[in-house]
Chains A and B, each alone.
Chain A
Amino acid sequence: MGRIVLEQVSKSFGDTEVIPPLDLAIEDGEFAVFVGPSGCGKSTLLRLIAGLEDTSGGRILIDGEDATAVPPAKRGLAMVFQSYALYPHMTVRKNIAFPMRMAGIDRAEQDRRIEKAAAALNLTDYLHRRPGQLSGGQRQRVAIGRAIVREPAAFLFDEPLSNLDAALRVGMRLEISELHKRLDTTMIYVTHDQVEAMTMADKIVVLRAGVIEQVGSPLELYKTPRNTFVAGFIGSPKMNLIEGPEAQRHGAHTIGIRPEHIAVSAEGGPWSGVVGVSEHLGSDTFFHIHDTGLGDMITVRADGEVGFRHGDRVSLTPRMDVLHKFDANGLRIA
């Protein structure tokens, strides 16, 4: 079981309020991702849930019980840190055994769980090694193993993949997702990478400056961003946000259109511009179009085969049915 509810939780460091009072519920078995730019308070929020920081106000409920004043050791949560935080003086086996040793679980049961976790995480051959002798990915697995064996009410991940190289990161992302499917335990995952958020989450919590901007499933966030911040943050490349006369023509202060929702052609569209940088990914090509008269540069996604060159004049056709409209405060209209 692991239903985590935050009621009017706030946090200040001295006089600076980093998290104004907020409410949030994470259901049992859910994979929730806190995402936002650095300094948005997502890690602080996770540490409040972990109990590594005191709340300045509000209550934290774990499975209906008030855990606000409970020390981290007694909350029944497991955490995987950005630096993995393995105990360098212990072997992998002892690292994994440590939480069970602290809980006073008997040796036979410890061994059983270690073997099981090691098998699941491909660590069986490394149990006698020390963290210093492992690769980044293996260390990450040990950290996860150490979290699993406690059978916690929920797992907390604090940017666990940011120290890994790109290729490994994709693999670990899949492994963590699979782990979640298998264990069916609540997971809260903090990242600044919206791709991780989109690919892993059941529920994404977008944070900015300690405030929750939107909570929803990846597709909800993609399709109906509540404001310009979420619109710009979710999706890659970023949504084009256009202000000025063109926006007013659609009855909005700002309009947003994703790169994949603009067709590019030699002529015939309502907008036009000059091709600047083209990024060829093979499957797709991203064009950065200048001199459109719409304000900033416009990013457009086209098929990998499309072959406009630097300096070509092109015509752009946005799909009106997926046009996002925002008011002067940046909030979504309708």
Chain B
Amino acid sequence: MATQHSRSAARAMMAPAVVLLLGWMLIPLGMTLYFSFKKYLPLRGGDLGWVGFENYERFVSSSAFWPSVQATLIIVGGVLAITVTLGILFALLLDQPMWGQGVVRILVIAPFFVMPTVSALVWKNMFMDPNNGLFAHLWRFFGADPVVWLTEAPLFSIVLIVSWQWLPFATLILLTAIQSLDGEQLEAAEMDGAPTIKRFWYIILPHLSRAITIVILIQTIFLLSIFAEIFVTTGGAFGTKTLTYLIYQRVLESQNVGLGSAGGVYAIILANIVAIFLMRIVGKNLDA
């Protein structure tokens, strides 16, 4: 259903969204690229001229770089492992017949709606505080010495907090996917004599593979840029400085814009590698 009229109207009506997003993408991106090739210190002399790829080299050769990559990988990998595994288990459980399913669903989904600064602060103080936190109470109850979570196990603590926030997302999406599984397929497998474990392994898991991939990709993109959780809990101390946080510090705290911009370009490239896989999957779905 398209006439010349409606096609030109369509172009005109798409224009604002396209132009805005194009500007939103290209202008800052262009500026970041521009700064990344400059020695640019706003508080210490401003624009000090072109430096070629020096910022890129300095960013990766700085002593903070590899630890930040490591922290990023541990956080992203840890959260993914926890949320996907538990997400599958919870989704399977929630799909079972039970009383009060709707209420349980609501309980499980709730953490996703808690703003990141709130969850970080609540966990940091009310659970992980070595003096008054609930964990400290619990440890003492069993006669153990309270753990100073954010200094003794900082990465683990952050993984815990972020997993709590993202577990509902994984569970909800995997539950939706499980519910779209054709019940007859499972019944057929049962008639064929497949035991529960095999039914899970050969039918449910393959059916979920696409949803799992999507959960992994979307979470990766969001997890690569977690900020508030670190900002509020450790401020990047104790080895919790992720790539994102390192760039943030370079730009806003030490005001080395050139160096930070080079880091930003690395982050953009990294995110795009993940995004390409995600877009492939989403794009395939568009044709259907």
A residues bordering B, Cβ < 8 Å?
A: 47, 51-54, 71-72
Contact = CB atoms under 8 A, between A and B. Distances in A.
Contacts of B3: 51-54, 71-72
B2 interface: yes
B4 to A, nearest CB: 5
A52 B3 CA distance: 6
Given A47-B1, A53-B1, 12 more contacts: A51-B3, A52-B1, A52-B3, A53-B2, A53-B3, A54-B2, A54-B3, A54-B4, A54-B5, A71-B3, A71-B5, A72-B3
A47 B1 CA distance: 9
A72 B1 CA distance: 12
Contacts of B5: 54, 71
Interface in B1-45: 1-5
A265 to B, nearest CB: 56
Nearest to A48: B3
A72 B2 CA distance: 12
Instruction: Enumerate the 7 nearest inter-chain pairs by beta-carbon distance, A residue then B residue, closest first.
Output: A54-B3, A54-B4, A71-B5, A52-B1, A53-B3, A52-B3, A51-B3
A8 to B, nearest CB: 19
Nearest to A54: B3
A12 to B, nearest CB: 13
11 contacts: A51-B3, A52-B3, A53-B1, A53-B2, A53-B3, A54-B2, A54-B3, A54-B4, A71-B3, A71-B5, A72-B3
Interface in B229-247: none
A246 to B, nearest CB: 49
Contacts of A54: 2-5
A16 to B, nearest CB: 15
B2 to A, nearest CB: 7
Contacts of A47: 1
A168 B4 CA distance: 39
B1 to A, nearest CB: 6
A54 B2 CA distance: 7
Contacts of B1: 47, 52-53
Contacts of A53: 1-3
Most buried by A among B2, B3, B4, B5: B3
Contacts of A51: 3
A114 B107 CA distance: 53
A261 to B, nearest CB: 45
Most buried by A among B1, B2, B5: B5
A53 B6 CA distance: 10
B238 to A, nearest CB: 58
A71 B6 CA distance: 9
A203 B1 CA distance: 28
Contacts of B4: 54
Nearest to A55: B3
Most buried by B among A51, A54, A72: A54
Nearest to B3: A54
Nearest to B7: A54
Interface string B100-137: 00000000000000000000000000000000000000
B97 to A, nearest CB: 33
A71 B9 CA distance: 12
